[in-house]
Amino acid sequence: MNRETRLVKVSSPGKIILSGEHSVVYGEPAIVASIDKRLHLSLSGSRSDINVIPQNAEYFVRQAMILIKDYFGTPSHIGFNIEINSQIPIGCGMGSSAAFSVALSAAFFKLINQRLDLKKVNEIAYLIEKKHHGNPSGVDNTISTYGGLLWFRKESESFYTYSQIKLKRRLPRVFIFNTGKPEESTKEIVKTVADLYKKNPKKTGKIIKKMGIVTKDFLKYLMEEDDVILSQLIKDNEMLLEDLSVVSKDTEELIRRIEKIGGSAKISGAGGIKNGSGILLLYHPKPAKLMSFFRQKNIKIEEIKLGTKGVKVE
Ligand code: MEV
């Protein structure tokens, strides 16, 4: 089939950060899992322009395509129909934009009949993410590319390391609840932390280092190397995120109530300062207690599957 009629379909997963958001921007490790919510994207047809469904994604697609064509050195007149269907809520910390960047990069490889090179897909997706988020760590695009459960670390601007975590224990049941789309963008929240760092380097540096320690303890929990209690790790991570001022008052209050019934919760992703703080990762050693807590409030929480497949051609 030539490019004139080619239909390319790909999908890529969203993510949950189990430990280490924000500190990962400063070179500390993060543990991140792909989830069972995916973005589906199809490219088809031959046109000299780009037709986008849904239309409100058009700006994002065009910006990304400038970078992709530049990367491949392809003529600027290559066009197509593009259709995007996503199960990942936008701007809530679940990696919706990275899933898009990864899926579009992967689809373009197929469109121009090249073998899918995941390293390059991730590289291009990172360029797109940088265009939109200023100074991202690259954790979101990396998990969406490779999937699974990753230990990720940004060592320098252009060098990162990651490793699939081979679990020694079964992952616990975890749930999510969306506190609402933050008023601030990820870029703005990351900048708030950077400003805090500039204003108060000693205190902020200490918080970030402590986050790194919590993430290392989280790894020990997953590897069953130490007697670490998961609830405590999530609590500690959340407290440190609150110290960075990336969690709204309402969300903090809700989390305190979850802790009172023996559970724990943390924001996952950049957070949100004024109102919504995006998605919350919820854990309780007795999941029924968590479910009944939310049921009493008439709120539905969702169980989430971790460690799903990375980007794939459908
Ligand atoms: C990632 O989802 C959230 C932040 O850690 C930013 C980043 O790593 O690029 C806050």
- Ligand 1 midpoint to CA 35 (Å): 16
- Ligand 1 midpoint to CA 12 (Å): 18
| Distance (Å, whole) CA 218 – CA 221 | 5
Strands 174-178 and 302-304: antiparallel
Give the residue ranges of DSSP H helices in 8-93. Answer: 58-72
| Distance (Å, whole) CA 172 – CA 151 | 18
Phi then psi for residue 244, to 5 deg, are: -85, -5
Return per-residue pLDDT of the chain as tens, 314 residues.
Answer: 444 557 899 999 999 999 999 999 999 999 999 999 999 999 987 777 889 999 999 999 999 999 999 998 887 677 889 999 999 999 999 999 999 999 999 999 998 889 999 999 999 999 999 998 888 999 999 999 999 999 999 999 889 999 999 988 888 999 999 999 999 999 999 999 999 999 999 999 999 999 999 999 999 999 999 888 999 999 999 999 999 999 999 999 999 999 999 999 999 999 999 999 999 999 999 999 999 999 999 998 999 999 999 999 99
| Distance (Å, whole) CA 259 – CA 19 | 18
Query: Which pLDDT score, from 0 to 100, does residue 263 have?
Result: 97
Please give the C-alpha separations between residue 62 and each of 6, 233, 264, in angstroms, as whole numbers: 20, 41, 41
Torsion, Cα of 128, 52, 6, 8 (10° steps) = 50
| DSSP secondary structure letters along 237-276 | HHHHHHHTT-B-HHHHHHHHHHHHTT-EEEE-SS-BSSS-
| Distance (Å, whole) CA 297 – CA 202 | 41
| Distance (Å, whole) CA 279 – CA 314 | 28
Nearest-CA neighbor of 146 among 310, 13, 16? 310
For the CA of 93, the closest atom of ligand 1 is: 2
- Ligand 1 midpoint to CA 165 (Å): 20
| Distance (Å, whole) CA 216 – CA 28 | 10
- Pocket test of ligand 1: the residue of 15, 17, 34, 155 to mutate, having most ligand atoms within 8 Å of its CB, is 17
Please give the C-alpha separations between residue 291 and each of 173, 177, 230, 276, 285, in angstroms, as whole numbers: 12, 11, 18, 21, 12
Please give the C-alpha separations between residue 229 and each of 23, 32, 278, in angstroms, as whole numbers: 21, 18, 25
Which amino acid does the sequence have at 243?
Answer: D
Q: Which residues line ligand 1 (CB under 6 A)?
A: 17, 21-22, 24-25, 136-137, 139-140, 190, 269-270
| Distance (Å, whole) CA 2 – CA 127 | 28
What is the pTM (predicted TM-score) of this model?
0.95
For the CA of 21, the closest atom of ligand 1 is: 5
Please give the C-alpha separations between residue 110 and each of 62, 142, 231, 285, in angstroms, as whole numbers: 18, 19, 43, 44
Nearest-CA neighbor of 279 among 176, 127, 166? 176
Torsion, Cα of 309, 300, 275, 133 (10° steps) = 10
Nearest-CA neighbor of 103 among 12, 33, 9, 37? 12
Q: Which residues of 30-39 are buried (b: 16+ CB within 10 A; e: fewer)?
A: bbbbbbebbb
Looking up tokens 């790194």 gives 212
For the CA of 20, the closest atom of ligand 1 is: 5
- Ligand 1 midpoint to CA 200 (Å): 20
